[in-house]
Structure 1
Amino acid sequence: MTEYVNTNETLKIPLSKGKLVLLLAGALLFVILGLWFIKQPEIFRKGVALIIVIGYAAVIFFGISAIFIFRKLFDTKAGIILDDKGIHDNSGGVSAGFIPWGNITNISTIEVSRQKLIMIEVSTPDDYINRQTNYIAKKAAAINHKMYGSPISITATSLKYSFDDLYYTLRKRWQQNISASEL
């Protein structure tokens, strides 16, 4: 775990191309599985209609995920940049962009379906929802806000950084920058 966090230095956390390739392979595997459910639902004997619905849901959800992951594979920008102004989030398909330290009201963690997320609570959540230009990303941010209290969630899944280190670093940088601005 990170011992000391210096808020004077800019920290650039790169995207992990290896993790992204694995995520893409997993998404494509679920798309193929979904197509198989659609094409041959009768192998399950019972609940054929349900199997077809599950197949379509898998193809749509994981197909969209695969598109976002594929695009991220060719992204040359850092996944997260922390500087004295705030967080620059480019870590996922629904990235928040720039989040000033002064706009953050809390940083916490949640776990959804065994996926750990860092929730960045902000004083103006609608700004972060409305800045999403993609319809799906905007809907995802709005759902995040409604269900978890913030439109901004960050995971270390696509980063060359562990989840615990990322959470610790974000909290420390936020606390130190808030303390410095109060002086």
Structure 2
Amino acid sequence: MTHSKKIEIHFSRLKLIKLLCFAFLFLACGIWMLRFQPDTQSVFLDNPYFKNGIAILALLMGSFGSYYALKKLFTPKPALVIDALGIIDHSSAVAIGRIHWSDITEIREHKTPAGALSKHRFIVVLLQDPAAYLSRQAHGLKRKTMEANLRQCGSPVTLSVTGLDTTFELLESELQQGLATYRDTEAETIEAIGTPLPKDLQEKVAAANKAHEYAMEIQKMLDAEFVIAELQVAATADHTLSITGVVTNQGTKDAIGEYLMLHTDTPKVYNGLTLEEEEA
């Protein structure tokens, strides 16, 4: 049994437009407070440090919110992809990208208070090796946020439907189904070959399979973006890439290397592409 469906979940344009409106409101309030310095007849609220601090905070929140909303409104990339390999997460500022089913131990709901009478629900993706995913996040602030998630929820990876064009129940159902399908397939494979492999060998096979899957994913990405003859992509367990093939000029070769460093989580690219004139 295989998980044949590839499910793409995009950002909700309506939710993003609402976020953009609130962000502009924060910007307007911050500018108004700095410009007109309103008098509230309160010693505490009229303190210039407090008042200007609130105004600057409103400007920062409005700026970040408007940047995020505008960026996502004009980004065709789906926020979440669920496929046979696992999950591709681009749904938040601390999204980690590809998460393989083989790395996931459990998917569960988590609730945090969102108000006096309500709670915010999100999905926690529990991992076999959280440290490996933390190490993929080089950005300091994002890494700190993921570490906080790990302490609070037991995993650095959490998913929220806020801003997504789906419901919590539907997203959780699709994720649970994908994980269950992967495990059924794994069980069928073990049954077909008889006795399960030793654990250390299982880990090596799993690492090799994930590296191969990652290489195939990158190859499809490059095929969609560039014209490369005889393209071959190989990857190691830490996502180091090696690419070979033939391109028309040095500029294209350099652009491909830069593209991979910018759009993937690879720590290093061995660019073995050759030029057409060299082949001739």
Q: TM-score band (shorter)?
A: 0.7 to 0.9
Contact 1:107 1:171 in 2 (8 A): yes
Which residue of the partner structure matches residue 179 of structure 1?
184
1:25 to 2:30 alignment: no
Opposite residue 154 of structure 1, the aligned amino acid is L
Opposite residue 25 of structure 1, the aligned amino acid is C
Q: 1:144–1:45: structure 2 CA closer, same or farther, 3 Å change rule?
A: same
Contact 1:72 1:93 in 2 (8 A): no
Q: 1:33–1:145: structure 2 CA closer, same or farther, 3 Å change rule?
A: farther
Whole-Å Cα distance in 2 between the matches of residues 173 and 179 of structure 1?
10
Alpha-carbon deviations, 1:130-157, whole Å to 9, x = none?
3234443223222222222211111112
Opposite residue 153 of structure 2, the aligned amino acid is Y
Whole-Å Cα distance in 1 between the matches of residues 141 and 26 of structure 2?
19
Whole-Å Cα distance in 1 between the matches of residues 128 and 69 of structure 2?
29
Contact 2:19 2:65 in 1 (8 A): no
Deviation at 1:54, TM superposition (A): 4.1
Deviation at 1:35, TM superposition (A): 4.7
Q: More displaced, 65-74 or 156-165? A: 65-74
Q: 1:108–1:29: structure 2 CA closer, same or farther, 3 Å change rule?
A: farther
Matches within 5 A, 1:114-133: 114-133=119-138
Residue aligned with 2:143, SS: helix
Equivalent residue pairs, number = 178
Deviation at 1:87, TM superposition (A): 0.5
Whole-Å Cα distance in 2 between the matches of residues 149 and 37 of structure 1?
41
Q: More displaced, 106-115 or 34-43? A: 34-43
Which residue of the partner structure matches residue 5 of structure 2?
9
Whole-Å Cα distance in 2 between the matches of residues 9 and 30 of structure 1?
41
Matches within 5 A, 1:15-94: 15-36=11-32, 40=37, 42-43=39-40, 45-48=42-45, 49=47, 50-94=50-94
Q: More displaced, 50-59 or 73-82? A: 50-59
Whole-Å Cα distance in 2 between the matches of residues 35 and 146 of structure 1?
37
Superposed CA RMSD: 2.5
Alpha-carbon deviations, 1:83-120, whole Å to 9, x = none?
11100111222212000011112212223324321111
Deviation at 1:38, TM superposition (A): 5.5
Whole-Å Cα distance in 1 between the matches of residues 135 and 59 of structure 2?
27
Unaligned runs of 5+ in 1: 1-5
Whole-Å Cα distance in 2 between the matches of residues 14 and 132 of structure 1?
23
Which residue of the partner structure matches residue 136 of structure 1?
141
Residue aligned with 1:22, SS: helix
Which residue of the partner structure matches residue 3 of structure 1?
none
Identity %: 26
Q: 1:158–1:53: structure 2 CA closer, same or farther, 3 Å change rule?
A: same
Residue aligned with 1:71, SS: helix
Whole-Å Cα distance in 1 between the matches of residues 25 and 14 of structure 2?
17
Unaligned runs of 5+ in 2: 189-280
1:170 to 159, 167, 175: 175
Opposite residue 103 of structure 1, the aligned amino acid is D
Q: 1:129–1:72: structure 2 CA closer, same or farther, 3 Å change rule?
A: farther
Deviation at 1:81, TM superposition (A): 1.0
Larger radius of gyration: 2
Deviation at 1:52, TM superposition (A): 4.5
Opposite residue 59 of structure 2, the aligned amino acid is V
Opposite residue 88 of structure 1, the aligned amino acid is I
Deviation at 1:164, TM superposition (A): 1.3
Q: 1:131–1:166: structure 2 CA closer, same or farther, 3 Å change rule?
A: same
